[in-house]
Chain A
Amino acid sequence: MSKEYIITICDGTGCIQKGNAAIRKALEQQLKDHNLTNDVRINLSGCLGMCDKGPIVVINPGYTIYGNVTPADIPEIVEEHLVRGQPVARLAIQEDHLYNRFFRIFGDAKFFGKQMRIALRNCGIIDPENIDDYLSLRGYEALAKVLTDMTPKQVIEEVKLSGLRGRGGAGFPTGVKWQLTARAGSLNSPRAASDEKYVICNADEGDPGAFMDRSAIEGDPHTVLEGMIIGGYAIGAKQGIVYIRAEYPLAVRRLEKAIADAREHGFIGKNILGSDFSFDIDIRLGAGAFVCGEETALIRSIEGGRGMPRPRPPYPSVEGLFGKPTLINNVETWANIPVVILDSGKWFSTIGTERSKGTKVFALAGKVVNTGLIEVPMGTTLREIIYDIGGGIPDNKEFKAVQTGGPSGGCLPAKYLDTPVDYESLAKAGSIMGSGGMIVIDQDSCMVDIAKFFLEFTQNESCGKCTPCREGTKRMLDILIKITEGKGEMYDIENLKRLGSMIKKASLCGLGQSAPNPVLSTILNFREEYEEHVKDKKCRAGVCKKLLTYEITDKCVGCGACKKACPVAAITGTAKAKHVIDQNKCIKCGACFSKCKFDAIIKK
């Protein structure tokens, strides 16, 4: 063998959990045994986004992606692929031949076909802990460009031209935000007289079911840092802060390393790249409060207090951290910045739809074949995402809804599958873009239960400062619990709607203003399920326990396993004869259902 190979092992959380360390060990051993150590380079990369097929191993050249690799497969891969040059077809993820426009490296998998990677352009390709890898892919070139060729004003103009909007969910135009912060503190804004300003990266990804920020930082921390430094230059700040969840230890570690490396190379610190611009970046850990994703609450948390929001205005761009003008953007927004600078805002604005430019990263999860992280151009339809990229619903089940925007968003039924993904279209359909969680729901889930699930979350996370959110969400939850327990009345549905719209209008911050969305959107799109719960006392998905009845069918062989399993002795019957459940005694625990080997117990 004379060829040199580069083997990339995915080192994202999914693959770590699935045992990529053992793969690496086995690989190193095999390479040693075959005397190949000097011919093959092993790379660790961030999340490739194909978490369900992990651990993932990619071999280049040839762009062969191996999935579900076990240490036992390694000898075969080394002997067949590396020594004989024959990829192991059994393990390779091979699908339709490729039409990806951007990364030949991702060539052969259909999963990447409709994707376009801007924010995640380096994720899965570079070693996130190696700054040289980032530099080799034009890393920090955008920073050099703005420091040498552009005035802060020009940088802001470029970002405005790109049409980039905040990726945290609300979609505020990024360039305008930068301009507002840059102007604050000058003479025409007397409120804040100081020229001290801050740049914050919001990495407090609290949405249940979303992991975009985590993967972006784990896979390519430098691009986020580079974006922040450029932002600092544009608005005239000297200090940047990354506010990140403490629950993401790997991301925090990689970020720390990236900051240290960048400092060593002179990209962070005093007189960056010999210019007179100085900028430093610090990490602050969150501590598990969803409300801290709201910018004023986040600021309060960085200041060391309880993370409660305050009324706006004044906006953080005028009066933010420590009372100084502050620019807050989400991880994904920052990750887009180096591309906007290098490839021009004009180019960026050619991607996407008229009012939503660029791409959006989604964490695709739930009842879908390919779960993982994807990035698509704005305007891609939900159907393309769920069926072409996601591979559809597993086990031939029926699609019921897709949930976007997490606890602030809504559930869209099948009739909205052809909705293009952009800020306005999703809002029109009754959901929101949100930060990028996308959960696919099939027939096994009850929509009332899903609404209850989200409300339980927001109710629990409500900081308690304003009454509509604190009390209102509690009352809404009470009503939902009542409905799922079969005690609902028709007026409860109307009350939910009234209460919901009141909370939306009267709450102080984004958490309360959006908390009723999952309930309102499910009432709008799945009203029949609510009515079934109320009128017929039935849950069609068989999720709401109190509305279920368990019955034993003629398939029963009388083995007695259910009788033994029943904790309240509600099942009677003699051996080898059909057993019966006493519905009055049954507590609907489901123990008999899971014990029965003959599928003789059904839930209705």
Chain B
Amino acid sequence: MEVAEKDKKQELKEFIDSVKDKEHGDSYLIAVLHKAQGLYGYLSREVMDTIAQQMQIPTAHIWGVATFYHYFNLTPPGKYVVSVCLGTACYVKGAPQILEAVKNDLKIDLGGITEDRLFSLQLARCLGACGVAPVVMVGDKIHGEMTPKKVVEVLNQYRKAEKKQ
């Protein structure tokens, strides 16, 4: 585990080194935050401090940027992030009921995480899969044409897969 952490740090550092001396190096901050979130799953205070030092940008500014955009998590997400799409197409096709069903099944609220850290729940504003609305994204997989019943089945599949491992 220790080694993996070190690798992540090294990879982040290499990425920052590859962009910071480019023209307008500061403008790559969001790209760096994407990279960091890809490695760690979220942006912790420590990671932001590291980025601040390496890019010579105040942590306060980084914090401001990280909190401005919905895509960045400031707390660790679950193993599978469940995003219930509340775009217009999904909304008129019953997404609010899907959201209710997910909340009841996981027994968490939006932004919450299950006790076993398997699932965390968030909203999405259109995943661009309106043709198969309503949709729910689990991890990076999109599940379409959901019903309150089907979505619970989908979650159960992930639970089952987890138990097998």
Q: Which residues of A contact B (CB under 8 A)?
A: 13-14, 16-18, 51-52, 54, 205-211, 214-215, 246-249, 284-290, 301-307, 322, 363, 365-367, 371-373, 403, 406, 437, 439, 441, 444-445, 450, 453-454, 457, 463, 594
A289 in contact with B68 (CB, 8 Å) = yes
B132 in contact with A208 (CB, 8 Å) = no
Identify which of B70, B92, B128, B130 contacts A248 (C-beta below 8 A).
B128
A280 to chain B, nearest CB (A): 12
Q: How far is the CA of A54 from the CA of B131 in the complex (A)?
A: 9
Give B128's nearest chain A residue, CB to CB: A211
Asked whether B155 is an interface residue with its Cβ less than 8 Å from the other chain, the reply is: no
Q: How far is the CA of A365 from the CA of B129 in the complex (A)?
A: 10
Asked whether B80 is an interface residue with its Cβ less than 8 Å from the other chain, the reply is: no
B128 in contact with A287 (CB, 8 Å) = no
A28 to chain B, nearest CB (A): 22
Q: How far is the CA of A574 from the CA of B132 in the complex (A)?
A: 43
A331 to chain B, nearest CB (A): 12
Q: How far is the CA of A246 from the CA of B128 in the complex (A)?
A: 12
Task: Count chain B residues whose beta carbon lies closer than 8 angstroms to a beta carbon of A.
Answer: 42
3 closest A-B pairs by CB:
A51-B131, A209-B88, A287-B69
Interface positions of B from 109 to 165, Cβ below 8 Å from A: 124-133, 135, 140-144, 148
Asked whether B89 is an interface residue with its Cβ less than 8 Å from the other chain, the reply is: yes
New A-B contacts (4) at CB < 8 Å, excluding given A209-B126, A284-B31, A463-B68: A51-B132, A303-B27, A306-B64, A366-B93
B129 in contact with A287 (CB, 8 Å) = no
The contact sample of 18 A-B pairs, CB cut-off 8 A, is A13-B129, A13-B142, A14-B129, A16-B142, A17-B129, A17-B143, A52-B131, A207-B126, A211-B130, A287-B70, A287-B72, A288-B69, A303-B27, A305-B61, A365-B130, A366-B130, A367-B93, A594-B148
Identify which of A214, A286, A444, A457 contacts B125 (C-beta below 8 A).
A457
Asked whether B6 is an interface residue with its Cβ less than 8 Å from the other chain, the reply is: no
Identify which of B31, B86, B124, B131 contacts A285 (C-beta below 8 A).
B31
B164 to chain A, nearest CB (A): 21
> For residue A214, which residues in chain B have a CB less than 8 angstroms away from its CB?
128
A247 in contact with B127 (CB, 8 Å) = yes
Q: How far is the CA of A444 from the CA of B69 in the complex (A)?
A: 34
> For residue A444, which residues in chain B have a CB less than 8 angstroms away from its CB?
92
A304 in contact with B71 (CB, 8 Å) = no
A17 in contact with B142 (CB, 8 Å) = yes
A209 to chain B, nearest CB (A): 3
Q: How far is the CA of A454 from the CA of B64 in the complex (A)?
A: 26
> For residue B135, which residues in chain A have a CB less than 8 angstroms away from its CB?
17
A439 in contact with B88 (CB, 8 Å) = yes
> For residue B92, which residues in chain A have a CB less than 8 angstroms away from its CB?
366-367, 439, 441, 444-445, 450
> For residue A51, which residues in chain B have a CB less than 8 angstroms away from its CB?
129-132
A120 to chain B, nearest CB (A): 14
A402 to chain B, nearest CB (A): 11
Q: Which residues of B contact A (CB under 8 A)?
A: 24, 26-31, 33-34, 61, 64-65, 68-72, 86-93, 124-133, 135, 140-144, 148
> For residue A594, which residues in chain B have a CB less than 8 angstroms away from its CB?
148
B91 in contact with A453 (CB, 8 Å) = yes
B131 in contact with A372 (CB, 8 Å) = yes
Identify which of B34, B93, B144 contacts A14 (C-beta below 8 A).
B144
Give B127's nearest chain A residue, CB to CB: A247
Known contacts A208-B126, A247-B128, A304-B26, A17 near B91 by CB under 8 Å: no
> For residue B30, which residues in chain A have a CB less than 8 angstroms away from its CB?
284-287, 301, 304
Give B88's nearest chain A residue, CB to CB: A209
Give B57's nearest chain A residue, CB to CB: A304
Q: How far is the CA of A371 from the CA of B133 in the complex (A)?
A: 9
A52 in contact with B132 (CB, 8 Å) = yes
Identify which of A14, A18, A207, A288 contacts B70 (C-beta below 8 A).
A288
> For residue B64, which residues in chain A have a CB less than 8 angstroms away from its CB?
306
> For residue B131, which residues in chain A have a CB less than 8 angstroms away from its CB?
14, 51-52, 54, 211, 365, 371-373
Known contacts A287-B33, A302-B27, A17 near B144 by CB under 8 Å: yes
B128 to chain A, nearest CB (A): 4
A598 to chain B, nearest CB (A): 19
A63 to chain B, nearest CB (A): 22
Identify which of B65, B88, B125, B133 contacts A290 (C-beta below 8 A).
B125
> For residue B93, which residues in chain A have a CB less than 8 angstroms away from its CB?
366-367
Known contacts A17-B143, A288-B71, A208 near B87 by CB under 8 Å: yes
A127 to chain B, nearest CB (A): 21
B50 to chain A, nearest CB (A): 17
B70 in contact with A211 (CB, 8 Å) = no
